[in-house]
Amino acid sequence: MSRAARSLLPPLALLAIVIGAWEAYADSGATSSFVLPAPHSVAASLWDNAGFIAGNLGPTAEEIVLGIALALALGFALAVLIHFSGVLRRAVYPLAVGSQAVPVAVIAPLLVFWWGFGVLPKLAVVVLICFFPVLVTTVDGLARIERDQLKLLRTLDASRWQAFRFAELPAALPAAISGARIALAVGVIGAYIAESQTVTSGAHAGLGHEINADLTALQTPRAYAAALVLFALAIACFYALTLAERALAPWASRPGGETP
Amino acid sequence: MATTITQPAQPPAGKRASGRSIVLRNVGHTFTDRGGNAVHALADVSLQAQRGELLALVGPSGCGKTTLLELICALQAPQQGTIDSEPAVLMPQRDLLLPWLSAVDNAALALRIAHVPRATARSRAAALFAQLGLDGFEHSHPAELSGGMRQRVAFARTLLSGKPVLCLDEPFGALDAITRAEMQEWLAGALAREPRTTVLVTHDVEEAILLADRVLVLSPRPGRVIGELVVSAPRPRARTDDNVIALRERALELLSRGARS
């Protein structure tokens, strides 16, 4: 069996079991199709509404992909500031934690007031939700550099900046990407919440917006079809991050490789 | 602190250029450990090393040997006494190679820190690789190298700092017995070709006698110098040489007397 087949088979087999059970349960008549549509009707709806769903995928994918990228940059930058300055650590860290407790609905009107009915306010929400895991894992990654490593660099006459550039920065990269993986899990839901909480103009308002509209209109199969696309998007982003890690920090996934 | 900053004066050309490289006078040091306890690491240590000399320090674990090296490397200032040393570079027990750099880039780290352009730094490191028995491993990453190889790369990194004093902190402590013996022979050869003033810290008495010009025996904490052995046996030395065996017995006797007092 090829390597690709070996890594694809288990998740596909599990997916087949889940879909089979779902189909059997939905067909048994235990629930209404408004509550739980059968997989075959979700698939049919996906096929029939492919263009509509693809149109809504555009803004949502933009919010998630761009949002994670910006969150990675913001979380990393804040982590570096916190790492270098005790004052900033005391000033920024509690506020960063607190920012995660603010319900999106509270700030959504302000974001719309600033940035209008386009993608920007949703992007801001995704960034706000996603920067936090990146911040935490990167701060930890930076703190995990061994004191002996820094001592060694000092005897090689490295300045504080050079110690950062040669040792701490590369060591923190895999940690930041791990943070982005966690952020991805909350980021997809974040995009949905952002779309739910903001008014959007235009024909394609995003998958989250579409799901809410479809559920209200009892178009449950199409809501499920859109959710399925979100599901696939999350998986695709996860693997994209794995590839990014292999490109940016190949030592982290190399056998026997360890981060000092 | 009185650390002379005579920058990378290239090491003396002859094996034994004269002059003192390191002078410690009545150095005492106490540090606070992670649990917040005061640890009296060193008490009244006086020693000197001549340029090009290989001085070994042996003593029981926790006798302040590592602290002593950090003081010589100016990583800390001594609380009592004075230290006068040419610029010193530390080679810690663990290689601490950076996993994201190739072997040659790890070795060239000090040159990169000194703003030598990457290509020049690499070619200077690669030139040293052949001498140190590392040729062919330039582009390997640390994870692909054996423990002995990693220590060689770490040693190359130490040499390329260009500093006249090398402080080796149990450089072979983490290696198995066979690799260790190989590496001791290798280090003797490497230092014969690239002479530097070297302070070798070890708890292996035999290693000290095989490699050093002079062995200082330290007491348990707080560390003091309790004995000095001059090793005049010609090189290369073998474990089985009568001279080596006699000195080893003498050193062990000093150590056990130090432990009892």
pLDDT in tens, B219-258: 888 888 998 999 988 888 888 888 889 999 999 998 888 8
List every span in chain B annotated with CATH 3.40.50.300: 20-87+164-260
Q: Which residues of A touch B90 (CB under 8 A)?
A: 151-152, 155
Do the chains contact at A156 and B89, CB–CB below 8 Å?
yes
Establish if A25 belongs to a structural domain: no
Residue B106 reports pLDDT greater than 60: yes
Mean pLDDT in residue range B173-195: 86
Establish if A26 belongs to a structural domain: no
Do the chains contact at A251 and B99, CB–CB below 8 Å?
yes
Establish if A33 belongs to a structural domain: no
Nearest-neighbour CA in chain B from A161: distance (Å): 10
Phi–psi pair at A198, nearest 5 degrees: -120, 155
What is the structure's pLDDT at B186?
86
Establish if A69 belongs to a structural domain: yes
Cβ atoms of B90 and A151 within 8 Å: the answer is yes
**B133 Cβ under 8 Å from any chain A Cβ:** no
Residue B66 reports pLDDT greater than 90: no
Establish if A196 belongs to a structural domain: yes
What is the structure's pLDDT at B140?
92
Do the chains contact at A156 and B92, CB–CB below 8 Å?
no
**B36 Cβ under 8 Å from any chain A Cβ:** no
Confidence of residue B18 (pLDDT cuts 50, 70, 90): low
Provide the CA B54 distance to its chain's centre, in angstroms.
9
Residue A143's domain comprises 56-250
Establish if A93 belongs to a structural domain: yes
Which 149-168 residues of chain A touch chain B by CB within 8 A? 149, 151-159, 162, 166-167
Do the chains contact at A166 and B144, CB–CB below 8 Å?
no
Q: How many domains does chain A have?
A: 1
From A80-89, A134-143, A203-212, B74-83, the region with the lowest mean pLDDT: A203-212
- Cross-strand bridge partners of residue B214: B55, B230
Interface confidence, given as ipTM, is 0.83
Confidence of residue A136 (pLDDT cuts 50, 70, 90): very high
Do the chains contact at B96 and A146, CB–CB below 8 Å?
yes
Render pLDDT for A109-124 as a digit per residue (tens, 0 to 9).
888 889 888 888 899 9
Mean pLDDT in residue range A53-77: 93
What is the structure's pLDDT at B36?
86
Query: Of the candidates B98, B112, B114, which has its C-beta nearest A260's C-beta?
Result: B98
Residue B16 reports pLDDT greater than 50: no
**B77 Cβ under 8 Å from any chain A Cβ:** no
Fold adopted by B20-87+164-260: Rossmann fold (3.40.50)
What is the structure's pLDDT at B3?
40
Name the residue among A209, A211, A210, A205 with its Cα closest to residue A118.
A205
Mean pLDDT in residue range A245-254: 83
What is the structure's pLDDT at B195?
87
Residue A235 reports pLDDT greater than 80: yes
Residue in chain A lying closest to B165 (CA) = A155
**B75 Cβ under 8 Å from any chain A Cβ:** yes
Residue in chain B lying closest to A167 (CA) = B98
CATH, residue A126: 1.10.3720.10
Do the chains contact at B112 and A259, CB–CB below 8 Å?
no
**A175 Cβ under 8 Å from any chain B Cβ:** no
Do the chains contact at B143 and A259, CB–CB below 8 Å?
no
Q: Which residues of B touch A258 (CB under 8 A)?
A: 99, 143
What is the structure's pLDDT at A254?
60
Establish if A145 belongs to a structural domain: yes
Mean pLDDT in residue range A42-56: 92
What is the structure's pLDDT at B10?
44
Query: Of the candidates B89, B99, B113, which has its C-beta nearest A258's C-beta?
Result: B99
